[in-house]
A and B are shown apart, each in its own frame.
Chain A
Amino acid sequence: MISSSTPADMQHLFSKIVQHDESIPPMHLDLPNETDDTISLAYGDADPTLFPVQSLITAVDTMLTGNLDISLNYAPAYAGLVALVQERMARQNVPLTRHEVMLANGSSQILSLLPQIMCDAGDVIIVEGPSFLGAVETFFNCGLTIETVPVRDDGMDLDILESTLARLAAQGIRAKFIYTIPTFQNPTGSLMPLANRQRLVALAAQYGVLIVEDDAYGDLHFENPIPPKLIALDPTWVLYVGTFSKILAPGVRMAWACGPSEVIKRINRFKTEGSNGPFMTRLVAQVAADGWLDQHIAVLNANYAQKCQAMLETIAQSFPSDVRYNRPQGGFFVYVYLPNDLPVSRLLPAAIANGVSFLPGTTCYADGQGTHEIRLAFSFQSRERIIDGIQRLGATMHQLRQA
């Protein structure tokens, strides 16, 4: 029999979580694509000239010649890659058992699963402002109540964090987690000093809140050694998230999380596709083996340090003198604080007209701040295009002032 039902009647089939999700308006960001005429300084893409093409081809060849069945059949993630992560973490004073580490398809997967395992609707989490837009948007979409703690030149403002935790506790609210990027923060590039790190982990223990330490840029330091990871200071309340995106290639989508086994176990449980599969995990392990990854990181850091320097020098020459910016010692970004008369809303359209784009600070906050802030990535573009792009941006700022 033919029914009068149509696909339009399907709404009743969706779960409550879908209906909740769709009650939240989406964020929109519409920036021009990279072209010969437009220099995009917006996104923290990796430098494509440094991708290890030959190493990857050799690795595929080697792994398929030697381990055919376990590389291509149904199988768990390669234990050797977990061991490689354990070895790298142990070298940085983070000893881990097998149950305290997991692999994922990019750190964004881990960050997106966190609210699922940690939060019910309305729960409170604490993020830095500004912060990584991808994570912030995910948390926002989950319907969480987001408390924002400002980021200073030395990272998250811990006085404000402490007063926030105390205020919440007085209201009987226990925040679920604090999302922080203590090392070469995205977007500010700031580096949290040791004393602050110690205070942060102590606060987490005092208030019983999980710290989510996003360490995407932890290996990308240009000169001085960096302070210990939060998880190395006190593993009790820290979930650490690392990634191969910046040190190998984003396109392989390979990241790891480590921390309390109860948390790792649950993230794994909610990772819908199961393991990362043998093929990609063996490939990454094969490429990284025998010290190759450390050598590669040294090459990356020499390159990124040069490009960072070129950006900073050009900013000093090209931007109005009342534009403030950080001088990062690592990572992918320079963060810029604009004067009152140069809001992003004026600067961005004029800059795009002049063939350069950047990330508006407003996309790095959950609460509408950042109207006078911009993020400039030196990671993707060549040194020449960085200089060209910054000069265009500086010229745009001077034009707007004269207009």
Chain B
Amino acid sequence: MSSDAGQLTLDALFSTRAKLAGDGAEWAPEPDGTISLAYGFADPEHFPVKELVEATAEILAEDVNGALNYGPTYPGLVKLVVDRMHARGVAQASPANVLISYGSSQILALLPQILVDPGDTVIVEGPCFMGAVRSFQEAGAKIETVTVREDGMDIDALEAMLADLKSRGIHPKFIYTTPTFQNPTGTLMPLANRKRLVALAAQYGVLIVEDDAYGDLRFEGEALPQLIALDTQGWVINVGTFSKILAPGVRMAWTCGPEAIIKRLRKFKVEGSSGPFLTRLVERFASDGKLEAHIGELNINYRHKRDVMVAAITEHFPADVHYVVPTGGFFIYCYLPADLPAPKVIAAGRTHGVSCLPGLGCYANGQGVHEIRLAFSYQSVDNITEGIRRLGAAMKSVRAS
């Protein structure tokens, strides 16, 4: 007969993995009147509304059953991604090694599922996009951090770390890097470093996860090859997204890499396709060169906003605040002087009606106390100028106190 019902709790039913997982973070809204420079939201003035409405009508008129019934991810969208990869010199891209997903965060959360057992080592940049790092940590990964310099990940430090780990019998699973317009620093890894990074990965048998979220948002200079374009032996997974070049709200991204990885990601993406309707909609919006034209418009807009932010920083920040002017992406990253720790600046900023992301939130190892990230992507030009003015005033108030 059954045991005493009074002792039967629901909690006892959960899997070990579920019990180990934390509760997760909740989104905290900011007070009214605050100019938020904290988050890398897209510019809502430049969402392609008319194009999306037209694309909806077109895909439903052309193949209503294909768009609305059960079905796979639209092969046309896979082809569009493959064609774009080919155009960037990624000759190995094919439908078999491209996976469409619900946002790149899905890929970054699935990767540790297929690659990481608790205690495994993963190498990340510091600072970097912590949303990804948190999903690695939840899988039980031990995080090793390599510092980001003005030209991206410090490859000397990476090489020393790989050698040290190897000497201790530790085989890291992957290196997570954003070589192009890095989040949060906006840095661009030069070609020589890219080649060296890819060679190191092959030498040590470690995967590179190349987060290329900002790769298309290039304001000036020549495009550098993606790491995956330099990879001849199959050690690079490239993760791209429509979030910055179409709209974050459609939740559509892709990944391209060794088929051995992609086929397993495909299997662990438990819901199967990314939706016939949505994938057709995105393809129709992007097809026939429309996406590239849209990216051209976005880059004119974001470059202008960057220039406005740089001008405001020059005018309003103390001269000993350091930053590198990014040539693409969404962010300017500031290194504050010793007497302006970010927590104090952010607290003062709050009373001045401006917010930004503390550098502390971009490291897995507690660094970043004197660093802040400023997003120029979302706010209007006027708000950027006013927000930077307020933040400069906040810094001066900290210094005066």
- Known contacts A73-B41, A74-B249, A209-B13, then 18 further A-B pairs from the complex at CB < 8 Å, ordered by chain A residue: A3-B233, A5-B204, A5-B205, A6-B234, A13-B205, A15-B113, A21-B268, A48-B68, A51-B68, A56-B56, A65-B49, A74-B41, A251-B70, A252-B277, A253-B278, A272-B135, A273-B106, A279-B250
Whether B18 contacts A116 by the Cβ 8 Å rule is yes
For residue A87, CB closer than 8 A to chain B, the reply is: no
| Among candidates A105, A262, A265, residue contacting B102 with C-beta atoms closer than 8 Å | A105
- Chain A's interface size range is 35 or more
A21 to B251, CA, bound (A): 28
A-facing mask of B54-88, CB < 8 A → 1, else 0? 00110011001111111100000000000000000
Answer whether residue A9 sits at the interface, using C-beta atoms and an 8 A cutoff.
yes
Interface CB pairs A-B, < 8 A, 27: A6-B233, A7-B234, A10-B258, A12-B171, A13-B115, A13-B205, A15-B115, A15-B116, A15-B117, A46-B69, A48-B64, A48-B65, A56-B56, A60-B52, A73-B41, A74-B41, A115-B15, A166-B1, A166-B2, A209-B13, A250-B276, A251-B277, A266-B14, A270-B17, A272-B269, A277-B250, A279-B249
Inter-chain contact B250/A117, CB cutoff 8 Å: no
Contacts of B275 in A (CB 8 A): 105-106, 251-253, 280
The smallest beta-carbon distance between A232 and chain B, in angstroms, is: 19
Chain B nearest Cβ from A345, distance in angstroms? 26
B207:A250 contact, CB within 8 angstroms: no
Give CA–CA (A112, B267) in the complex, Å.
Answer: 11
> How many B residues face the partner with a CB closer than 8 A?
91
Least distance between A10 CB and chain B CB atoms (Å): 5
Q: Does A263 contact B (CB under 8 A)?
A: yes
Cβ-defined contact, B277 with A169, below 8 A? no
- A115 to chain B: closest residue by CB: B15
Q: How far is the CA of A176 from the CA of B14 in the complex (A)?
A: 8
Q: Does B222 contact A (CB under 8 A)?
A: no
Which residues of A are found within 8 Å of B251, using beta-carbon distances? 273, 276-277, 279-280
Interface string of A74-104 (1 = CB under 8 A from B): 1110000000000000000000000000001
Q: In the complex, what distance in Å separates the CA atom of A381 from the CA atom of B166?
A: 61
Given A15-B117, A105-B271, A276-B251: A72 in contact with B47 (beta carbons within 8 A): yes
Residue B1 contacts which of A43, A51, A169 (CB distance < 8 angstroms)? A169
Alpha-carbon gap, A361 to B60, bound state (A): 34
Give Cα A117–Cα B114 distance, bound, in whole angstroms. 16
CB distance from A377 to the nearest CB of B (A): 11
Contact of A118 with B by CB under 8 A: yes
- A109 at the binding interface (Cβ < 8 Å): yes
Would you call A16 an interface residue if the criterion is a C-beta within 8 Å of the partner chain's C-beta atoms? yes
Interface residues as binary, A268-301 with B (CB distance below 8 Å gives 1, 0 otherwise): 1110111011111000000000000000000000
**Which one of A73, A206, A210 contacts B10 once the chains associate, using CB atoms below 8 Å?**
A210
Bound: A120/B18 CA distance, A: 10
Chain A residues with CB under 8 Å of chain B are: 1-3, 5-7, 9-10, 12-18, 21, 43, 45-46, 48, 51, 53, 56-57, 60-61, 64-65, 68-76, 104-106, 108-109, 112-113, 115-120, 123, 138, 165-166, 169, 174, 176-177, 205-210, 237, 245, 249-253, 260, 262-263, 265-266, 268-270, 272-274, 276-280, 380
Which residues of chain A come closer than 8 Å to B47, judged between CB atoms? 64, 68, 72-73
Q: Give A75 to B39 CA distance when docked, in angstroms.
A: 11
Interface: B110 (CB within 8 A) = yes
Knowing A18-B264, A177-B13, A266-B14 are in contact, say whether A277-B249 is a contact too (CB < 8 A). Answer: yes
In Å, the complex CA distance between A71 and B21 comes to 30
Bound-complex Cα distance A68 to B48 (A):
10
Q: How far is the CA of A8 from the CA of B74 in the complex (A)?
A: 30
Cβ–Cβ contact B264 & A273, under 8 A: no
Give, as a whole number of angstroms, the nearest-CB distance from A26 to chain B: 10
Q: Contacts of B112 on A, CB cut-off 8 Å?
A: 15
Q: Which residues of chain B come closer than 8 Å to A119, judged between CB atoms? A: 15
Given A207-B2, A273-B251, A278-B249, are A118 and B14 also a contact pair (CB < 8 Å)?
yes
* Given A73-B41, A138-B270, A253-B275, A272:B109 Cβ within 8 A: yes
A73 touches B17 (CB 8 A): no
B227 to chain A, nearest CB (A): 15
**Docked-complex contact A169 and B53, CB < 8 angstroms:** no
The answer on a CB contact under 8 Å between B103 and A277 is yes
Is B225 close to A, CB under 8 A?
no
Contacting residues, chain A, for B41 (C-beta < 8 A): 73-74
Task: Verify A108–B250 contact, CB threshold 8 A.
Answer: no
Q: Are B109 and A5 within 8 A (Cβ)?
A: no
Given the contacts A61-B53, A105-B275, A273 and B18 also touching, CB distance less than 8 Å: no
- A118 with B18: CB separation less than 8 A: yes
Pairs A-B, 8 closest by C-beta atoms: A208-B8, A112-B270, A109-B271, A273-B106, A272-B109, A277-B251, A7-B234, A48-B65
CB-based nearest A residue for B24: A269
- Check if B249 sits within 8 Å of A263, measured CB to CB: no
Q: Taking the complex as formed, is B190 at the interface, i.e. its CB lies under 8 A from any CB of chain A?
A: no
B residues less than 8 Å from A268 (CB atoms): 24
Chain B residues with CB under 8 A of A108: 270-272
* Residues of B with C-beta under 8 A to A61: 53
A380 to B171: give the CA distance in the assembly, Å: 52
Q: Is the CB of A265 within 8 A of B23?
A: yes
Which residue of chain B has the shortest Cβ distance to A209 in the bound complex?
A: B13
Q: Does B101 contact A (CB under 8 A)?
A: yes
Q: Which residue of chain B is the closest to A245 with respect to CB atoms?
A: B70
Tell whether B167 is near chain A: CB-to-CB under 8 Å.
Answer: no
User: A10: which B residues are within 8 A, CB to CB?
Assistant: 205, 207, 234, 258, 260-261
Alpha-carbon distance A112/B113, docked complex (angstroms): 14
Contact of B235 among A7, A118, A208 (CB under 8 A): A7
Please give, as numbers and ranges, the residues of chain A lying within 8 Å of B260 by CB-CB distance.
7, 10
Q: Is the CB of B2 within 8 A of A206?
A: yes
Within 8 A of A (CB), among B225-254: 233-235, 243, 247-251
Selected contact of B3 from candidates A70, A73, A169, A252, CB within 8 Å: A169
Q: Does B173 contact A (CB under 8 A)?
A: yes
- Residue contact A72 to B247, C-beta cutoff 8 Å: yes
Query: How far apart are the CA atoms of A118 and B169 in the complex, in Å?
Result: 35
**Residues of chain A contacted by B17 (CB below 8 angstroms):** 116-117, 120, 270
Cross-chain contact B105 with A274 (CB below 8 angstroms):
yes
With A108-B272, A169-B2 in contact, do A3 and B203 touch (Cβ < 8 Å)? yes
Q: Is the CB of B70 within 8 A of A45?
A: yes
* Minimum CB–CB distance for A346 against chain B, Å: 29
Give bound CA distance, A84 to B61, whole Å. 28
The answer to whether A274 and B249 have CB atoms under 8 Å apart is no
